[in-house]
Amino acid sequence: MSRTTLANALDEMFGLLSASGQTPVASLVSAGVRVVLDHEPGAAGVPKPCSVTMEPAGIDPTDWMVRVRVYVAGELPPKTAQDLMVNAVVATAAVLKAGVGYGPLSWQMGWNDEIAAYVAVSDVAIGREDF
């Protein structure tokens, strides 16, 4: 796929993370991810117990920026949620690292009081091809 537009870059990233529709690729399923969304769900809320979402995060002269989030339900026991968060982030990072021209990846993780869930966030650079 071409990275000549941000929309194409988003589609390419979604294709790396999802096997079909919103079903995650096998490595994400093994890590506990149940749904991958090519957008932020907003007021509808994120699917539980663990999901990966993505949204446009910016444009610079050489890269398209995509914000990837991993959500883990807050009603899980804390240690279970923490382990799920770690496994899901590591698996998501591995899938993205395998994509040519992605990164570098840096993740911030923690509890979010507003939505009562654990959240990990990474702004992923995708090399532009529109020059």
CA distance 102 to 118: 24
**5 — phi, psi (to 5°)?**
-135, 160
pTM: 0.94
Q: What angle do CA 99, 60, 110 make, to 5 degrees?
A: 65
pLDDT digits (tens, 9 = 90+) for 18-57: 998 999 999 999 999 999 999 999 878 889 999 999 999 9
**84 — phi, psi (to 5°)?**
-65, -45
CA-closest candidate to residue 13, choices 57, 41, 54, 69: 54
pLDDT of residue 44: 80
Percent of the chain with pLDDT over 90: 85
